[in-house]
Structure 1
Amino acid sequence: MDVFRSMQIMVRAIELGNLSAAARELGVTQPTVSKIIAALERDLAVRLIERTTTKFTPTEAGQRFYERAKQILEEYADARADACGLSAQVAGLLRVNAPLGLGEMHLHRITQCFVRLHPKVEVELVLNDRFVDLVEEGVDLAIRLGGALPASAVARDLATSERFFVASPDYLAQHGAIEHIDDLQRHEFIRFAWLESGATVEVAGPDGSRHIALRGRYSINSALSIRQSVCDGWGIAMTPAWLVQDLLDDGTLVRILPRWQAAAQTLRLVYPSRRYQPMRARAFMDYLESEIEAVPGLTTSRPRC
């Protein structure tokens, strides 16, 4: 049995979640893929895959084997490239997860530029606002905004973004100016749905820290929709600067109570806690760190030239 080839087939079958898809990609038949995985299971004396008529999923042992096998294959590819004098070349598939709003507004453009720079790399950018399991879902890198980190991951801080109250000039003209922190309680507050804090926000200002219970009849689990709702005059919102800085600059929105703000939002690059990172992942991390400082509303600690 060709163990190295068997590992390649096993890894791709798990990543694609389908024997037929793995067979098509590798240029073999589905029965061949099935036989190779079965032979690998016999050699290891452990069941790697659970098969039903509708599902193809790795067992716990299969998932552990997949993680180690993928690392071995990536290390081999890197060693081979180095031996062939290709160590400066970035190639292969990179899976990246990022928040929807930040991804659509800024990160997809940065990612496209990275792909143009490296013709042999392929990037799969998945945008959603949930905290994915990096290992279980085969994600190489995740960009996250605040929140606790999973125990199985390490992180690199990229930037911070201030958080403050904003509103549209039309809304303020209709509902009155907001001059004191207590004035907020008589206004419609648009918030992100499902937050544990609900409509209560903690802010710091000239009078120290305050917990303000705000009211609002509308909440939504989309940063972009909150941005649009504030522009449309539905109410006020507490937003990170990266979401609205362009609108503040052109006067579409205004910052209210500028002496009050919430804790800054931290932008982190998160990746599995393993010793080895493929070259394409390292290259993307470095590129993102160099480009993120150009995003309006984000502040990095990198020294500027």
Structure 2
Amino acid sequence: MPDAVPDARSEFLAAPAKINLSLFITGRRANGYHDIESLFVPVPGLADTLELSPGPKGSGCRVEPVLPGCPEERNLVFRAWQAFAEATGHAPDVHVNLVKRIPTGAGLGGGSSDAAAMLRWLNERAGDKALGAQALNHLAAALGADVPFFLLGGPAVARGIGDELTPVDLDLSPFTLVLALPEVHVSTPWAYQAWDQLEARKNPPQDCADCLTSATTANKKRVSLSPVVARNDFEVVVFPAHGALRALKERLLRLGAVGAVMSGSGAGIASLFRDSRLAKIAADVLREDGVPVHMETQRYWGVAKR
């Protein structure tokens, strides 16, 4: 069957992935949500694509294809359209062809990024119904804790449940990113529940400001990344349940990465290399072993700077 021809009026939106170069769980709220401190960095070279074309009058928002285990009404793109329509009255008829490249359950924020792309598109076309930055951010946070970060569009330290963002200047261009994407799905609710049951979690948390300082020092002085940069509190509960992820992180370090860390609640493993040749060798080795890899070259990686 031939590929569908895009509508001449189609618009294409990129929804990039993110990685957490650090993630500290600092507390649990009475409502069950957890407070974190995390260094979020966008990965512009790994992105979903939203192809938007006008829908029939009165059709609302249609998102295709329907993802396995995720009916349309639960899809974050549809929920973003619905929330914006309820908040503003701006509800254009639109058909969305969602091309997924960001793996689900990998800690890379694909669904949240898709939602942010839709919110931004809607707001740019809402005319006098458009929301201000604060109102749009509030709407985004109601969809998911990571969604406001993708509206921001640059590196940030996230606090609270992940929705309190402080933009940061972080030049990562000296590094090449090798992002391993093992075909393992880690449930975020499960990871938080496992953390809650772990007594060792009561160790004093590291302030993420130290993480940022360490990253900046590494860039300027060309020294190895401080361990605090490549630290994720989820690893202590995820690695015992998924030993292959621990082995993958350790292998990347042996292959020459100056830092490696699980992103979010997993299962993606982000590693940073100063030597781009070693990065390519590491990526090739993992691919030969059947592990999907995204490699972010310095040419694009430097874009992740505000």
Which category of TM-score, normalised to the shorter sequence, fits these structures? under 0.3
* Larger RCO (CA under 8 A, 6+ residues apart): 2
- TM-score, normalization by structure 1: 0.24
Larger radius of gyration: 1
